[in-house]
């Protein structure tokens, strides 16, 4: 009788294990094999650690839907790590497809990049998979450590030169906005090269260090230097991009405002430097009323602006 009960228990256990084998394997795999790999233990000093409407920080690296994947991408890139792995489980049948969809959707991946500090943003994002559902993100940063040191030193010098203790927050933004525009010329040659698909690696007008060293910039350079300043003075901000333009969005006095230094630095045939404030801290309605055709961004990706 005892042997019969023993074999009965064993039989029932085997049936149970067979029926729920996927769940059992996943539990063992995630709890005892990969758990040590799925925590971001440290973030660098440029991590925003902020939640936004389209994406938020997460500590769950076993996604169950596409939004989870977006949150993981944002969390990993924002943290400043160079490489990180998370896991697609069998119960999420389209997980790897959705990972690839997020990574290859240019507007979406650019938006994720725009929500992080420029120093943690990537120039190239590589993705690899293994047979056990492991997904590895490898991040090539846009800025090197040497470039970051140079930019920080230059920005600090500018702040000490133009910012005074009695200035309001708005006054500080305006002072930096005006200084950068007066200091910089729009790099029309580089803009033409990009439109002609000329890959000029020596021209870094799309980066903040290119603006500071050469006094030339296209929209990426203007936007990054302003974002770096806004982060330096602890103002919430993101970048907004379309297929061929990028500008800043900053949170001030309980509202989000657009800030476009590129369009406030007009290219004049007379070569005169002037500063305008047509795109200085304007609302989304004011931006839309201008109907520029260069600011038609995907609103579902930048919900703060709405």
22, exposed or middle or buried, with CB in 10 Å at 0-12, 13-18, 19+? exposed
Report phi then psi at 144, rounded to 5. -85, 165
pTM of the model: 0.87
Q: Which residue segments constitute the domains of the chain, with CATH numbers given? A: 37-141 (no CATH), 145-305 (3.10.620)
Place of tokens 């998370």: 86
pLDDT at 135 over 70: yes
> Could you read off the pLDDT of 155-182 as tens digits, one per residue?
999 999 999 999 999 999 999 999 999 9
**Does an H or E element contain 23, and which?**
helix 21-28
Asked if residues 240 and 302 have their Cβ atoms less than 8 Å apart, the reply is yes
Q: Which residues pair with 249 in a beta bridge?
A: 238, 258
Mean pLDDT of the chain: 90
Structure tokens at 145: 């450590």
Structure tokens at 274: 């002037």
Q: Which residues pair with 137 in a beta bridge?
A: 84, 127
> In whole angstroms, how far apart are CA 38 and each of 92, 134, 175?
18, 10, 44
CA distance 59 to 42: 12
> Could you read off the pLDDT of 56-89 as tens digits, one per residue?
999 999 999 999 999 999 999 999 999 999 999 8
Weakest-pLDDT range from 79-83, 250-254, 264-268: 264-268
- In terms of pLDDT, which residue wins out, 198 or 7? 198
């Amino acid at each position: 009788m005892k042997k019969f009960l023993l074999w009965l228990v064993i039989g029932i256990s085997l049936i149970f294990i067979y029926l729920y084998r996927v769940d059992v394997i996943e539990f063992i795999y995630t709890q005892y094999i990969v758990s040590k790999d799925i925590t971001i233990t440290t973030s660098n000093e440029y991590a925003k650690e902020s939640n936004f409407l389209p994406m938020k920080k997460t500590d769950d690296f076993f996604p169950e839907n596409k939004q989870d994947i977006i949150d993981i991408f944002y969390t990993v890139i924002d943290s400043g790590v160079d490489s990180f792995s998370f896991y697609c489980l069998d119960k999420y049948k389209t997980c790897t497809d959705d990972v690839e969809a997020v990574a290859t959707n240019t507007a979406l991946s650019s938006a994720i990049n725009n929500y992080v500090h420029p120093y943690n943003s990537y120039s190239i994002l590589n993705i690899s998979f293994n047979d056990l559902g492991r997904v590895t993100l490898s991040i090539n940063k846009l800025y090197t450590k040497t470039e970051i040191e140079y930019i920080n030193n230059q920005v600090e010098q500018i702040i000490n030169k133009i910012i005074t203790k009695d200035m309001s927050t708005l006054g500080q933004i305006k002072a930096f906005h005006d200084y950068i525009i007066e200091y910089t010329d729009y790099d029309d040659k580089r803009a033409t090269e990009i439109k002609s698909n000329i890959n000029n690696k020596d021209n870094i007008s799309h980066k903040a260090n290119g603006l500071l060293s050469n006094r030339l910039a296209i929209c990426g350079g203007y936007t990054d230097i302003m974002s770096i300043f806004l982060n330096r003075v602890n103002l919430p901000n993101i970048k907004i991009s379309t297929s061929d333009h990028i500008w800043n969005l900053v949170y001030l006095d309980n509202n989000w405002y657009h800030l476009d230094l590129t369009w406030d630095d007009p290219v004049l045939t007379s070569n005169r430097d002037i500063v305008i404030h047509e795109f200085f801290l304007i609302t989304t309605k004011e931006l839309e009323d201008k109907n520029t055709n260069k600011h038609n961004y995907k609103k579902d990706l930048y919900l703060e602006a709405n």
